[in-house]
Structure 1
């Protein structure tokens, strides 16, 4: 359930306030952090979609103020190491400082013993010469268009087999390249491998030419 925005009450002295801001479509948290050296009251604001999110940000902000550490959202690990090397080793003897600097500059991945793992499964993919040989041997057969689409367009073989002409656009409107809409597969339930596998592919000209030839051949055969 979503939280219902309520009218903010006037905060007491030294209290934090959470209220709904219709202009920003967000909850706002006004944090009470005492007074600055010039006597001005410090009340920074944090924003969130829910009151819970705002309360969390208020708590984190107060922790930062108490520890004296405030890092920006884009603060990186490398910057943290450099800050520590520059300011965190004060008072240490020279040998300790040099040792820590040396360790910080090393690639720790090189210190890890990598397991050998299991031997990989031999690839079943065709190399260039094998693919050319397959296409040359299949030229003129019913499987030629299927093989060309599978090898040259990026469509998986399980997606090419159920491909229908309803999802192939060889003569689209001007300004739109010929394309194939990949929505189906011979996998269980007819879905592609993943949700992101539903995609539109603009195949190269060689594939378009072969598909046009295959379509003409089908029409002649059915006439």
Structure 2
């Protein structure tokens, strides 16, 4: 059992079982026990190479064992790297991780994972996943390895050295035509979702912003004092109304970005629908009695509790089906429709970007490139013209 030097460490390689074992002496632990780093292999050369790599990792501060796998890294990230995220986000990330990352790469040790492995894995997935999903899956691996780097489990993040390929075409978002929008508004009149649909279509708010809208953020203009006051204080007997889009159904309750915080004047149709909705909600409160849970939400369940995205999607499909435009629509496409209708009416892209809460026109152009038309010439005023009502003054 000859002794050799690997870097500054003394090591030995000796026969064991069907192969060889190598051990590097790392001195003594505080409790007096000898510290040794071991690696196994079929040949002495293989073991020596493993010991050299292990010593390099040790000197670089890497603490992971040679058995620490991609599965371990991903599971560690799922348990420690998603703190503060919503339950829905955690569930989504876990499904992506288990379905596409762990099942394909999970058995590979993290230190053996190479950029070529990641490339081949993504190429295989690209035939079955949309580009957006492919990016999300790639992100799971990158973030899991990034966390492993922070914890000294690996030196390089090979997933960040690879470009996400293009996946298969996903379902493109679409927009209602003006005629379809009128049909949807008409069909929504008999739905509990009526005001939700009207607000979403005529102001372009995100669906998570609509779900989080509170009654004290629905405001009326008082000409005498030249101030906006909540309808919870001054009621609906006024001419002009607006909504404070300051919250969203997201972790922390804030809007998507700081620029997304905005105040939007309401078209007459939207203000009327909210007034009617407020009266219906008051009736629901009386019916629910002690079962009512007060959250001050403009849009909620019949007991006052918050709406979830799934229930809104299902109710909206019923509306679009009744409108004769089919069921292949999602609530977020009301926002796309808002952008499209605004663009068709000649509203400048700069104004549209402000209305939908984008930091600049480049985001609007990228996200809504299919809905934007060549433009020349404002929110509530334009919608009043399209869907009836008198322009605000």
What band does the TM-score fall into relative to the shorter chain?
0.3 to 0.5
Which of the pair has the greater relative contact order for Cα pairs under 8 Å at 6+ separation? 2
**TM superposition score normalised by structure 2:** 0.25
**TM superposition score normalised by structure 1:** 0.43
